[in-house]
């Protein structure tokens, strides 16, 4: 949504977000974005086809398969979030929230995985100390 | 019967229970150090606090001062806390933990055993002369073989199991780097059912026993005596009674006990109360 | 404005303003943040009482294991059946009460009271908003909470009783207990978590969007900051526990094994599940919430304390900015310290070093917060009214609780202290004489705003001194028990591994064991239980006070009885629907007390210009 | 009393309330699904065996297309409102809801197929081999082992497994839903008629065989209790399905009330559609990760 620039600001508050381009409400702008949405839809379809195709091709390395599949998924997710959800053109506040979220999510995953793998006292496999 | 120390006597020894392990000294010392820091902070702030309440009560100071405290004493106090915490962490907690908990003695220099916890009992298994435990697999568990030892495994032929809730180790003097000490104990801990926690206060040792995992702890007993093993992790309605005795024997007593009380190879009996 | 000040009770008041929306709409299905706040507060107080009563039963069992509980024993037997046969608590019942004491106190009493009740009532007022940003979601949040509470409460009466795996609900224990108590617990938790999430979204949106003109970030009262950070913690830390709860629910109901490893043997028989799960996974997901949760318990309390201290020292908070940055730091770091609850699950040196370092780091902002509050006293003109007494007592009590967190935070000392009564004492010092005192302080402080009447000071001070004494007599001895090696969650208070029982009789099973609990330690059990009884009795003046003062309390002389600066006091009493009767514009920081050269010793935030002394 | 910034954004944040609200909510959703994905990773990394190709990729791909299409239509619905065209909005919104229903129907079908597909484990090696042979002829043991190796991607045929560890997969006569050994025995049944799956590389089902329940160690349809893989698959997809359902209900509500709202408060209504759309895209986004992780890897 756009700014209502005529709105008077409260004392001591500044306008946090400023954007140069034309009004987001104008029909021309919307028309333009519609084209963008359709293009992104196409990209998403393409990405899906690519992922599935890769599965049938059978890349020998499991690590590469996983990496590529996740990469494609991330790119697709980027398009959905960036364009459909207008994240590419969002307010600072929302970036702040999302950055925190991602940081904590990575913390959760990485630290848990690290903790599960730093268990030097895990011993005794088949009767013999490991 | 044991002498029953009075409150004062217990307070004098820092309200810590009897100590019978080597790294336990470090634990106690460290706990003491941390409490000194805590006490210093607490007493310092409390004195200030009571003084401030008295000095600045409304009747004594009817008009408050807009600015309040000036000066940087409180910053110094904060910095001091940071520094002391850093020292405690870097100079004590981390290296002591690494030394006492992670650095294992070699198997051949230690009394090795495996303790299996279950609702609500403890049982030890000694590996015998070959130093290798027979296979233990939960899928072999049956009425006759409650802990799932593999009878067919040759490594298990010389293993021996303690009676439930009665675990012994010998106290054997040895020299390490010219220093007199005793033979350390390595305990591999596992559980059949839920999470238990193997706690011997005299050894200053606690370790969770987690089903599906085998986790080892080690410590060096320094005194002959009978100590408690308690279960420190809630494990069901018998949790409170899931204790056992951990007996540190003289070598002779240990041999005697071992010959008389343990069950060789095969499957030991476990009584489930 | 003066006209509406006059002191009607809450009910009489709202009828004046609008067309009568009917009893149900006004008090049960209201979307007014103040009504919702009061609903939360009242429900939470009832649960607080309930949690305490559960603990009184347990304390009896700890002190006198195996004997019938006086007075309530018969009742328990009537309602709960065989688990309380002859009025004696069975271990099963002890475990159920223990798990539910923890759950109820944390999720049904303190969070709803500290965050939801005070937050709802006070935050919109303090930022000059007409209501929460999403009033109907606010209402849904309370309804979810109430439903969760009902599910938890009902679980006591189902066959087999309530959840008995501790408030931490570690799998496999929680999963393999054959009764359905845990299922109820999980469903209850999912409802409570949902309620908290809705609340958190609402709080954050409200603070960001609905601040009155001029209410910049650095002009917000510290209480609002505390609630804001708390809301973020709830928003981001609770969902992983919700995920874990869902997984455990699937384990329990559909027989999967997310948290059950291969090869479980239960009661001598292989447990019929596929296996392959991880018990430690539950612990990680639980403590990922569990640790931030403790800051959810403490931050709102610190917020309340700050308001009261500023007002009753008649001077600005010392180091407002440090307070704000510290509370932000606490909120942030609280997400990466969780595994200090898991040092003894077999962690290596590297990972435990990481977690103990972050644990030490997080204690620094806590120290700064406390230091600021302490320094705020200097130069004040301190009024010792009941809210202030509770607020002041909070400081050393939290100090004790916080400081004793340090030896637990170092893994090397945790080796001895883990899961002992030392831990119990540590956190109760923070939550009971800490948070609960802050909540009492808040109730005494805002009661006049909610009802137009003061609470009785004599009863209040009696409540305070007896509670202060009771709390310390209850929790101080626990440090000693813990150091001596007494484990928590013992349904017999450790009698099985004591040398002598509480009556002084020798326990032959422990003959010759040199680390068995001594008679002294066992006697502390009895002592603590008596102290807990004192603490219970100390609450009687409070309950009387809350209800009596509604009708005969001294009426407030003005809308701003404490002469405070923040916006919550610049409204009619009690505030009407929509809160403010005039346009609110904020001109200054939150704690302009005793500004030099002024006639009045306080300048409300919305007062346009200061009045220089003549 | 009126709550400000429900229609117009607040100048200093540039946001209207609901938009901030939904993003906060989505942040918590990220942590919710993040918790589940973390669990998935941990369980998978810690597992001895992890099955592959248990789910139909064509069906999954189809459903992915359906969700992506719905994401396009929902954003178009919002853009139509922005252009002041409630008629087009209705068409796009209807398409979105149809997609949602299509997705859910396909998902239900997938669930149904799994609930009626069974694995049987036998008591000991000899018994197992007997049944393998009954199912696939003389080379039965090899065939089932091949299936096992294929399922767990153990392309190392030299590895030896005790046959009792290997399951025989197939259907039970009458296609019972989610039954198990306990239930069958409880119903006093002694044998079942079992149609094993077609051998690898073929589509021809072998003849049904008679299986004595007393020979069976474990019998499970593809339900959460079957294995960690199915447990996590059902949990995450069911939770995702609930999100689809919830989103569809809300969007349908908007579709039904558009006329009223469009007249009364067009700006606020457009905002609501944007917010509903944001939620919908998020659900799509979760699926974008879910699909490769669960179906393909
Ligand atoms: C509100 C609740 C709350 C708070 C604020 C804290 C704060 C802290 N906690 Fe606590 N904790 C709990 C609630 C809380 N805790 C609970 C409920 C459990 C048990 C859960 C269970 O197992 O059931 C627990 C358990 C627990 C453990 C696990 C113990 C174990 O199971 O073995 C650890 C270990 O690191 C720990 C550490 C800390 C630390 C380092 C802090 C720090 O943040 C503290 C920082 C504060 C200070 C350092 C104080 C500063 C004071 C001064 C500078 C001046 C003092 C002087 C005067 C006031 C006169 N806590
Ligand atoms: C916020 C959390 C909280 C609070 C406030 C308390 C408060 C108290 N707790 Fe609790 N406790 C826990 C959280 C809490 N506890 C947790 C998480 C556990 C671990 C559980 C587990 O092992 O799984 C535990 C465990 C625990 C134990 C250990 C049990 C065991 O390990 O076997 C004990 C033992 O004494 C105990 C005692 C007490 C006491 C005496 C109080 C007292 O301080 C209570 C004081 C209460 C009041 C002062 C309330 C007064 C209010 C009213 C009377 C309301 C009035 C009503 C109206 C006006 C309507 N608690
Ligand atoms: Cu075993 Cu507690
Ligand atoms: Cu913690």
The ipTM of this complex is 0.93
Report whether pLDDT(C391) > 70. Answer: yes
Same domain, B133 and B225: yes
Domain boundaries, chain C: 29-219, 560-614
* CA-closest residue to ligand 1 atom 8: C405
How far CA C608 is from CA of C584, C588, D12, in Å, comes to: 10, 9, 22
Please answer whether residues C108 and C47 qualify as being in contact, where contact means their C-beta atoms are separated by less than 8 angstroms.
Answer: yes
- D19 CB neighbours in chain A (<8 A) are 1
**Any atom of ligand 2 within 6 Å of the Cβ of C45:** yes
Domain boundary among B68, B85, B102: B102
Evaluate: CB of B116 within 6 angstroms of ligand 3.
no
pLDDT at position A45: 92
* CATH number for region C29-219: 1.20.210.10
Mark yes or no for CB contact A127/B217 under 8 Å. no
Q: Which of C166, C188, C234 is nearest to C424 (CA)?
A: C166
Tell me whether residue B1 is in a domain.
no
Residue A21: per-residue pLDDT: 43
**What local confidence, expressed as pLDDT, does residue D286 receive?**
95
Band of residue B267 on the pLDDT scale cut at 50, 70, 90? low
B42 lines ligand 1 (CB under 6 A): yes
Same-domain check for residues B64 and B36: yes
Read off the pLDDT band of C10 (50, 70, 90).
very low
Residue B214 lies inside a defined structural domain of this protein: yes
Q: Look at residue B172 and tell me if it is in a domain.
A: yes
Quick check: A124 and B217 CB within 8 A? no
- Give the residue, by CA position, lying nearest to ligand 2 atom 13: C102
- Which residues from A are below 8 Å from D277, CB to CB? 84-85
Is the Cβ atom of B196 under 6 angstroms away from ligand 3?
A: yes
Q: Tokens for C508?
A: 């032959």
pLDDT at B175 over 90: no
Shared domain check, B116 and B64: no
**Nearest residue, CB atoms, A127 vs list B102, B107, B134:** B134
Beta bridge pairs of residue A128: A125
According to the 3-state scheme, what is the secondary structure of C580-592? CCCCCCCCCCCCC
Mean pLDDT of C304-322: 94
The confidence band for B268, taking pLDDT boundaries of 50, 70 and 90, is: low
Does B98 share its domain with B150? no
At C5, the pLDDT band (50, 70, 90 cuts) reads very low
Residue A6 has pLDDT above 50, yes or no: no
Question: B271 in a domain, yes or no?
Answer: no
- Domain of residue B67, residue span: 9-102
Q: What pLDDT does residue A8 have?
A: 37
Final residue belonging to a domain, choices B79, B102, B125 = B102
What percentage of chain D exceeds 90 in pLDDT?
56
Note the ligand closest to the C-alpha atom of C405. 1
Are B97 and B126 in a shared domain? no
Cα(C205)–Cα(A113) distance, integer angstroms = 33
Query: Is some CB atom of chain C closer than 8 A to the CB atom of A1?
Result: no
C115 vs C234: CA distance, rounded Å: 10
Would you state the pLDDT for residue B266?
A: 61
Q: What is the mean pLDDT of chain C?
A: 91
The H or E element spanning position C199 is: helix C181-209
The answer to whether residues B127 and B175 belong to one domain is yes
Q: Which domains does chain D have, with CATH numbers?
A: 17-114+228-296 (1.20.120.80), 118-221 (no CATH)
Q: What's the pLDDT score for residue C225?
A: 97
How does residue A23 score in pLDDT terms, banded at 50, 70 and 90?
low
Task: Over range C365-377, report the average pLDDT.
Answer: 93
Of residues B8 and C535, the one with the higher pLDDT is: C535
* The predicted structure's pLDDT at residue B272: 44
Contact between chains at C280 and A104 (C-beta distance less than 8 A): no
B225 lies in some domain: yes
Specify if B4 maps to a domain: no
Give the domain-ending residue among B102, B131, B156. Answer: B102
Count of other CB atoms within 10 angstroms of residue B191: 29
Residues C283-308, mean pLDDT to the nearest whole number: 95
B223 lies in some domain: yes
Tell me the pLDDT tens digit for each residue of C219-228: 999 999 999 9
pTM for this predicted structure: 0.93
Mean pLDDT for all residues in chain B: 86
Q: Distance between CA C132 and CA C114 in Å, rounded? A: 17
Task: Please check the confidence at residue D253 and state whether its pLDDT lies above 50.
Answer: yes
Residue C81: band (very low, low, confident or very high) from pLDDT cuts 50, 70, 90: confident
Residues in A 47-106 with any Cβ partner in D closer than 8 A: 48, 51-52, 55, 65-66, 69-70, 72-73, 76-77, 80-81, 84-85, 91, 93-94, 97-98, 100-102, 104-105
Region C388-413: mean pLDDT is 95
Pocket of ligand 2, candidates C50, C105, C401: which has the most ligand atoms within 8 Å of its Cβ, to mutate?
A: C105
pLDDT of A129 strictly over 60: no
* CA of B196 relative to ligand 3 center, distance in Å: 4
Q: What is the pLDDT of residue B177?
A: 84
CA distances from B254 to B113, C419, C598 (A): 14, 31, 84
Name chain A's partners: 3 or more CB pairs within 8 A.
Answer: B, C, D
Quote the number of domains for chain B. Answer: 2
B165 shares a domain with B68: no
Tens-digit pLDDT profile for residues C232-277: 999 999 999 999 999 999 999 999 999 999 888 888 888 888 888 8
pLDDT per residue as tens digits for the range C93-109: 999 999 999 999 999 99
Question: Are B145 and B255 in the same domain?
Answer: yes
Shortest-distance Cα residue to atom 25 of ligand 2 = C102
Give the pLDDT band of residue A15 (cuts 50, 70, 90). Answer: very low
Instruction: Tell whether the model's pLDDT for residue D202 goes beyond 90.
Output: no
Residue B112 with chain A: CB contacts under 8 Å: 129
The helix (run of H) or strand (run of E) holding residue B116 is strand B111-118
Does C187 score more than 60 pLDDT?
yes
Pair (B137, B169) in one structural domain: yes
Asked whether residue B2 is domain-assigned, the answer is no
Does one domain contain both B94 and B146? Answer: no
Mean pLDDT on C587-600: 90
CB-defined contacts A:C, below 8 A: 61
Band (pLDDT 50/70/90 cuts) for residue A11 is very low
- Give the pLDDT band of residue D159 (cuts 50, 70, 90): low
pLDDT band of A5, cuts 50, 70, 90? very low
Distance, in Å, from the CA atom of C505 to the CA atom of B131, rounded to the nearest integer, reads 44
The pLDDT of residue A22: 46
Contacts of B245 in chain C (CB under 8 A): 513
**Cβ contacts of A10 on chain D, cutoff 8 Å:** 12
């Amino acid at each position: 949504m756009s700014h209502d620039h005529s709105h008077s600001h409260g004392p001591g508050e500044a306008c946090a977000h400023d954007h140069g381009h034309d009004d987001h409400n104008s029909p021309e702008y919307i028309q333009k974005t519609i084209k963008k949405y359709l293009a992104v839809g196409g990209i998403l379809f393409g990405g899906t086809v690519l992922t599935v195709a890769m599965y049938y091709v059978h890349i020998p390395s499991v690590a590469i398969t996983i990496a590529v599949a996740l990469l494609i998924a991330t790119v697709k997710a980027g398009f959905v979030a960036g364009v459909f959800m207008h994240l590419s053109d969002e307010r600072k506040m929302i970036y702040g929230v999302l950055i925190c979220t991602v940081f904590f999510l990575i913390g959760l995953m990485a630290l848990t995985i690290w903790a599960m793998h730093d268990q030097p006292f895990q011993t005794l496999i088949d009767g013999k100390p490991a | 019967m044991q002498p029953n120390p009075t409150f004062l006597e217990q307070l004098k020894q820092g309200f810590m229970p009897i100590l019978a392990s080597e790294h336990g000294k470090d634990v106690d010392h460290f706990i003491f150090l941390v409490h000194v820091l805590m006490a210093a902070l607490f007493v310092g702030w409390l004195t200030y606090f009571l003084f401030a309440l008295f000095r600045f009560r409304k009747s004594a100071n009817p008009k408050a001062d807009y600015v309040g405290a000036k000066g940087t004493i409180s910053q110094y106090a904060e910095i001091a806390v940071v520094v002391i915490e850093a020292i405690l962490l870097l100079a004590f907690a981390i290296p002591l933990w690494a030394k006492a908990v992670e650095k294992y003695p070699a198997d051949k220099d230690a009394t090795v055993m495996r303790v299996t916890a279950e609702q609500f009992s403890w049982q030890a298994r000694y590996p015998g002369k070959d130093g290798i435990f027979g296979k233990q697999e939960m899928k072999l568990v049956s009425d006759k073989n409650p802990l799932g030892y593999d009878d067919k495994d040759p490594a298990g032929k010389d293993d021996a199991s303690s009676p439930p809730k009665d675990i012994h180790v010998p106290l054997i003097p040895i020299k390490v780097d010219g220093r007199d000490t005793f033979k350390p104990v390595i305990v591999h801990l596992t559980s059949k059912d839920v999470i238990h926690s193997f706690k011997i206060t005299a050894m200053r040792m606690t370790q969770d026993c987690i089903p599906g995992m085998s986790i080892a702890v080690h410590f060096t007993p320094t005194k002959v005596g009978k100590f408690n093993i308690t279960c420190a992790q809630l494990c069901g309605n018998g949790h409170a009674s899931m204790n056992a005795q951990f007996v540190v024997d003289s070598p002779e007593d240990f041999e005697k006990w071992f010959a008389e009380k343990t069950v060789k190879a095969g499957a030991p009996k476990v009584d489930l109360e | 404005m003066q006209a509406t000040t006059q002191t009607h009770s809450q009910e009489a008041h709202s009828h004046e303003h609008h067309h009568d929306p009917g009893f149900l709409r006004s008090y049960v299905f209201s979307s007014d943040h103040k009504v919702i706040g009061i609903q939360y507060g009242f429900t939470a107080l009832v649960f607080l009482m309930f949690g305490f009563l559960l603990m009184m039963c347990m304390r009896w069992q700890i002190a006198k294991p195996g004997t019938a509980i006086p007075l309530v024993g018969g009742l328990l037997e009537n309602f709960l059946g065989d688990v309380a046969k002859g009025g004696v608590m069975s271990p099963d019942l002890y475990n159920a009460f223990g798990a539910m004491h923890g759950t109820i106190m944390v999720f049904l009493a303190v969070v709803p009271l500290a965050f939801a009740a005070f937050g709802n009532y006070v935050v919109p007022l303090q930022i000059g908003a007409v209501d929460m940003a999403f009033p109907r979601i606010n209402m849904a949040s309370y309804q979810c909470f109430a439903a969760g509470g009902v599910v938890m409460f009902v679980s006591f009466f189902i066959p087999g009783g309530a959840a008995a795996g501790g408030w931490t609900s570690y799998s496999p224990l929680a999963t393999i207990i054959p009764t359905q108590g845990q299922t109820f617990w999980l469903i209850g938790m999912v409802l409570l978590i949902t309620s908290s999430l809705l609340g958190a979204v609402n709080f954050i949106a409200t603070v960001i969007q609905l601040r009155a003109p001029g209410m910049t970030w650095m002009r917000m009262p510290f209480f609002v900051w505390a609630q804001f950070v708390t809301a973020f913690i709830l928003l981001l830390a609770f969902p992983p526990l919700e995920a874990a709860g869902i997984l455990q629910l699937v384990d329990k109901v559909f027989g999967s094994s997310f948290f059950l490893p291969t090869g479980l043997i239960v009661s001598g028989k292989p447990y019929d599940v596929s296996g392959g799960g991880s018990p430690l996974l539950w612990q990680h997901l639980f403590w990922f919430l569990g640790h931030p949760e403790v800051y959810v318990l403490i931050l709102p309390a610190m917020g309340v304390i700050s308001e009261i201290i500023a007002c009753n020292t008649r001077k600005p908070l010392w180091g407002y900015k440090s307070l704000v940055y510290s509370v932000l730091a606490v909120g942030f770091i609280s997400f990466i310290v969780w595994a200090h609850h898991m040092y003894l699950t077999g962690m290596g040196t590297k990972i435990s070093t990481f977690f103990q370092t972050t644990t030490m780091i997080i204690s620094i902002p806590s120290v700064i917060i406390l230091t600021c509050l302490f320094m705020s006293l200097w130069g004040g003109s301190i009024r010792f009214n009941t809210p202030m007494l509770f607020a002041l007592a909070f400081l050393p009590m939290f100090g004790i609780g916080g400081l004793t967190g340090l030896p637990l935070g170092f893994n090397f000392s945790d080796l001895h202290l883990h899961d002992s009564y030392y831990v119990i004492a540590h956190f109760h010092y923070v939550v009971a004489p800490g948070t609960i005192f802050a909540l009492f302080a808040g109730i005494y402080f805002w009661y006049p705003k909610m009802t137009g009447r003061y609470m009785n000071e004599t009863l209040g001070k009696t409540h305070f001194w007896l509670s202060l004494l009771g709390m310390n007599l209850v929790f101080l001895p626990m440090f000693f028990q813990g150091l001596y090696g007494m484990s928590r969650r013992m349904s017999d208070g450790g009698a099985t591994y004591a040398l002598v029982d509480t009556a002084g009789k020798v326990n032959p099973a422990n003959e010759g064991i040199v680390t068995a609990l001594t008679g002294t330690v066992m006697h502390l059990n009895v002592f603590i239980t008596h102290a807990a009884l004192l603490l219970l009795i100390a609450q009687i003046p409070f309950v009387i006070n809350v209800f009596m003062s509604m009708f005969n309390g001294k009426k407030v002389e003005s809308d701003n009885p404490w002469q405070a600066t923040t916006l919550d006091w610049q409204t009619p009493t009690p505030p009407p629907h929509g809160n403010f009767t005039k346009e609110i514009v904020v001109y200054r920081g939150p704690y302009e007390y005793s500004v030099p050269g002024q006639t009045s010793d306080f300048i409300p935030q919305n007062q346009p210009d200061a009045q220089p002394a003549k | 009393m009126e709550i400000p910034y429900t229609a117009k954004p607040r100048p200093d944040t540039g946001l209207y309330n609901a938009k901030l609200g939904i993003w906060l909510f989505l942040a918590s959703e990220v942590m919710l699904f993040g918790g589940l994905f973390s669990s998935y990773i941990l369980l998978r990394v810690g597992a001895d065996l992890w099955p592959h190709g248990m789910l139909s990729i064509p069906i999954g791909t189809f459903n992915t297309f359906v969700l992506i299409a719905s994401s396009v239509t929902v954003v178009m619905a919002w853009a139509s409102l922005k252009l002041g065209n409630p008629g087009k909005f209705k068409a796009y919104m209807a398409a979105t809801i149809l997609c949602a229903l299509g997705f859910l129907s396909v998902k239900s079908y997938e669930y149904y197929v799994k609930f009626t597909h069974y694995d049987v484990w036998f008591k000991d090696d000899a018994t197992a081999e007997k049944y393998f042979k009954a199912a696939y002829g003389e080379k039965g043991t090899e065939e089932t082992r091949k299936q096992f190796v294929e399922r767990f991607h153990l392309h190392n045929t030299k590895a030896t497994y005790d046959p009792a560890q290997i399951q025989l997969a197939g259907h039970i006569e009458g296609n019972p839903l989610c039954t198990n050994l306990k239930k069958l025995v409880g119903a006093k049944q002694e044998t079942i008629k079992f149609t094993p799956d077609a051998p690898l590389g073929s589509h021809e089902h072998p003849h049904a065989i008679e299986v004595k329940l007393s020979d069976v160690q474990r019998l499970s349809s593809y339900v959460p209790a079957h294995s960690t893989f199915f447990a996590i698959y059902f949990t995450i997809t069911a939770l995702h399905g609930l999100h689809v359902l919830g989103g569809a209900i809300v969007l349908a509500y908007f579709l039904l009330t558009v006329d009223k709202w469009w007249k009364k408060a067009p700006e606020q209504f457009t905002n609501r559609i944007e917010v509903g759309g944001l939620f919908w895209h998020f659900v799509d986004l979760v699926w974008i990760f879910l699909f490769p992780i669960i179906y393909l890897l």
